[in-house]
Chain A
Amino acid sequence: MNVILIAVIVLGTIGLVSALILYLAAKKFAVHEDERIGKVAEVLPQANCGGCGFPGCSGFAGACVKAADKGSLEGLLCPVGGQPVMENVADILGLKAEASAPKVAVVRCNGTCESRPRIAEFDGAQSCRVQQMLGSGETACAYGCLGCGDCVAACQFDAIHMNPETGLPEVDEEKCTACGACSKACPRGIIEIRLKGLKNRRVVVLCNNKDKGAQTRKACSVGCIACQKCVKVCKFEAITVDANLAYIDAEKCKLCRKCEDECPQNAIHAFNFPPRKPKPEAAPAVEKPTAPTAAKPAAPTVPTAEKPASKETTVPVGSPKGNVEPAKEQES
């Protein structure tokens, strides 16, 4: 009897003392997490894609709260949730959301199997990065799509797929969240995260080739040869040619499509425009009015380009500064 009593008392005492220690420790070492972080995290998409530049959604929520303490959410954007989510976040934090234009991934290469003949065969590990490391790929273009689908593997939203006919990836604009994972995965920096544009309309140079015109022309029939015609025809100074490659600034572009008509290589493409009335002397443009993807009226001049154009969902991407290959052609 006595033994049981002693045991109960001893254990009970130990229990009480431990409880006291735990209680004090919990008080002393308590981590105060801003409850707003949890609330913000709740309205985020929880895709943890890292497209915002922070490690996952909770990291982004923490950054938002920190920024809110400084009074502004400037520079913070959840590319997956876009404007609506940022408005919710701003509500929670008692701020106004910064206006942000929606973006989309654009594949800046139109070198289909037809326009860019294969000159070599690659039978190593089917990865663009591996291929990029071993040489210039299967075609003569050292800047174009390698076609192994690293971007497809990187996409968490099932928004980019290889088109077996063209050998190029195509972006599903409905699903694309512009998180930038594909852009980072592409070893050649072909994919650009670009402004979606008014009514989703965009005019883009679908080429990433920084070789001189003559070399580009040999490698691909639809490559930008840096002839400057588009620069001259553009009234809004939206087009620049840097390192033998034209680039259209989406913010300056007024979607007039003059450059598209002017481009002798058919490297400039317009997305999501309504079908054009065919010019009287030209063959009727092939049109594919399928909704989400950008059906582009084929330019009347180059019939071979019709096919790639009508397929295009993808838009060229990649800042022109994007690193591709060092050692280009600075003529001394």
Chain B
Amino acid sequence: MKTFKIGGVHPAENKLSAAAPIRVAALPKQAVFSMFQHIGAPAVPVVKKGDVVKVGTLLGEAGKGLSVPVFSSVSGKVNKVDAVLDSSGTRRMAVIVDVEGDEWLDTIDRSDKLVTMKDLGNITAEEVVGRIKAAGIVGMGGATFPTGVKLMPPPGTKAEAIIVNAVECEPYLTADHRLMLEKPEQILVGIQLIKHAVNCPKAYIGIEMNKPDAIALLQNLLKEKAAQYPGIEVVPLKVKYPQGGEKQLIDAVIGRQVPAPPALPINVGAIVQNVGTVYAIYEAVTKNKPLIERIITVTGKSVSQPSNFLARIGTPMQQLIDEAGGLPEDTGKIIGGGPMMGRALMSLDVPVTKGSSGLLLMTKKESRRGEVSPCIRCAKCVSACPMGLEPYLLASYTRLKDWDGCEKNDVTSCIECGSCAFTCPSNRPLLDNIRVAKQTVMGIIKARHMEAIKK
């Protein structure tokens, strides 16, 4: 069974909502569209108070440099364009729309009919990438990197393998799993579109063994329609966290190691796309539908109905929790994303964004960190680190503010997966410290770079 070579941990899977079919979440009364739903420059609002918008209306155009546009997922009137609290408690520019009815732009094809490559005729690669960019698609696994940029390999590199990330290694989350079960053919067409866009003959779908139904479904489909979907292969992977990390997945599926930053996956010929992104690409290219909704898992041990919702972007989290049976009394912490890499929310008024893969309601008992005790030099963190780093050492260097030491020990390679802190028997806040070091060292490297350019 394939998996990545170094490190990794096995957190309890807790896929409570795996059997819950995707439900369409109710329309919100008011939707909030943050202009900061992606990595890079924020989108720039192009609507003003009082404007009437429909589903699919452009709300914010892409900013300068790395950025994507933001579209309305509801119809109604713009209430205001203002800075509102985001999930981390920071105020950021957003467009707030009062919802009235559900009117879609005529340009969007709302039918369920499967559109295949044949139906698309001879669409060019540029057209595919153009539509992806125009639809505001970003990496939907949570990293929210603009997808259009990823599909334009820099000169000198060539895509040799598309890897579809259907690993969903985070415990609890089942959004990607349900998507594969319910929209398998759409995903396959999406993969074909990506292959077409970057002119790459081979694609792999990496799925962990804890989703046997999805593996079987896709494998059968590929066997039945081998002629229609050539060059796509399902790769079952051993269950191990953080297999969904880009570098870990490349290692697991095609056995190549991405060098330390600034090297990118494309430097080893790989392009990794989340399965949710692939579906969004399908919808954008074939249905002309911008990224206005996504699948989000709402789950937790005490949630009465752990669910997978197809929610419009901008829907308040509170509403999804209500639909999943309400906020349990013993909730101690609410996490946006999965338990390993997700972040605690400051408020339930924050909306679903392009990167919201899950909403995890932790019980009071689960949400407490254990008491910190001294490092016993067991080196469990070293064995667990999937990047081959020495977390205890980096954390100590950080405490001593030895940024040179951190840099020499490759702190910038850290993917912040949290395996070290998860495995530490002394409950040491390893990742907390390493994150500080990573941010500082990146700043130092950048400053050095700027200095070099000046000279």
B306 at the interface (CB under 8 A from A): no
B343 within 8 A of A: yes
Given contacts A119-B346, A140-B89, A142-B89, 17 further A-B contacts (CB under 8 A): A123-B368, A123-B369, A124-B369, A124-B432, A125-B429, A125-B432, A127-B436, A130-B435, A135-B88, A135-B344, A136-B89, A142-B90, A211-B91, A327-B91, A327-B92, A332-B44, A332-B81
When A and B form their complex, which 5 residue pairs have the shortest distance between CB atoms, in order from nearest? Answer: A136-B89, A125-B429, A125-B432, A329-B83, A130-B432
CB distance from A150 to the nearest CB of B (A): 10
With an 8 A cutoff between CB atoms, is B420 at the interface? no
B116 within 8 A of A: no
Q: CB distance A327 to B36 under 8 Å?
A: yes
Assess the B83–A332 pair: CB atoms within 8 A. no
Tell whether B433 is near chain A: CB-to-CB under 8 Å.
yes
- Contacts of B227-262 to chain A: CB distance below 8 A: none
CB–CB A328/B346 < 8 A: no
Known contacts A119-B346, A133-B435, A134-B343: A327-B90 contact under CB 8 Å:
yes
Closest to B369 in A: A123
- Any chain B CB within 8 A of the CB of A33? no
**Chain B interface size, under 10 / 10 to 19 / 20 to 34 / 35 or more:** 20 to 34
A215 CB-CB contact with B under 8 Å: yes
B27 CB to closest chain A CB (Å) equals 27
Cα–Cα distance between A130 and B368 once the two chains are bound (Å): 17
Closest Cβ neighbor of A211 among chain B residues: B91
Say yes or no: is B42 at the interface (Cβ < 8 Å to chain A): yes
Task: Give per-residue flags for A315-332: 1 if the beta carbon is below 8 A from chain B beta carbons, else 0.
Answer: 000000000010111011
How many A-B contacts if CB must be within 8 Å?
Answer: 64
A136-B346 contact in complex given A142-B90, A327-B91, A329-B82, C-beta closer than 8 Å: yes
Query: Are A130 and B90 in contact (CB-based, < 8 A)?
Result: no
Find the B residue at minimum CB distance from A137. B89
Given the complex, which residues of A lie within 8 Å of B343, measured CB to CB? Answer: 134-135
A129 to B89, CA, bound (A): 15
Contact for B433 among A120, A130, A211, CB less than 8 A: A130
18 A-B residue pairs with Cβ-Cβ distance under 8 Å, sorted by A, are: A120-B89, A120-B344, A123-B369, A124-B369, A127-B436, A130-B429, A133-B436, A134-B88, A135-B344, A136-B346, A142-B90, A325-B90, A325-B91, A328-B83, A329-B91, A331-B82, A332-B44, A332-B81
Within residues 68 to 97 of chain B, which ones have a CB less than 8 A from any CB in chain A?
81-83, 88-93
A28 to B36, CA, bound (A): 63
Distance in angstroms between the alpha carbons of A234 and B54 in the assembled complex: 50
Q: Which residues of the other chain, B, contact A130 by a CB distance below 8 angstroms?
A: 429, 432-433, 435-436
Q: Whole-angstrom distance from the CB of B370 to the nearest CB of chain A? A: 10
* B439 interfacial contact with A, CB 8 Å: yes
Q: Is B338 an interface residue (CB 8 A)?
A: no
In chain A between 86 and 125, which residues have their CB closer than 8 angstroms to a CB of chain B? 119-120, 123-125
Q: Considering residues A119, A124, A125, A135, which has the most beta carbons from chain B within 10 angstroms of its beta carbon?
A: A125
